[in-house]
Structure 1
């Protein structure tokens, strides 16, 4: 339940960040005459990565509803913390 709450918070954060970028514009003044990407864009990217990881940890299906029927037949991969890059000789 805690992961689901965190997903909702992350989606709310993404909505707030999108509003900031919409209001302020994609580019911000940087040092001198330079321009840089709005910091909310960078934060939104990180929040989307966190949202994807939360979704994966809850084993939520990805994609459209039509894709779910096809994915239902595919077994889920379960790898350890090290995955394919485990310690040599330990396995």
Structure 2
């Protein structure tokens, strides 16, 4: 299976995750991470590392981000993961 990590500014990721859960039900290979105004890069990195560790048994990881080139998009390179960003 493919693991998916969705992250974005404000409540983008958690809001999209709630909508997806209403339609598809719980998805164990999916994690959503919000990047709030008060979160530092170190905090975000730690959250992403935890998500990667939690989904480590998956064949592949895909990062979905709200902005191409944003910090979350750049950080996913650390794990050599595929990524798609919005515009």
TM tier, smaller = under 0.3
Larger Rg: 1
**1 or 2, which has the higher strand percentage?**
2
TM-score (norm 1): 0.27
Higher relative contact order structure (alpha carbons within 8 Å, sequence separation ≥ 6): 2
TM-score (norm 2): 0.28
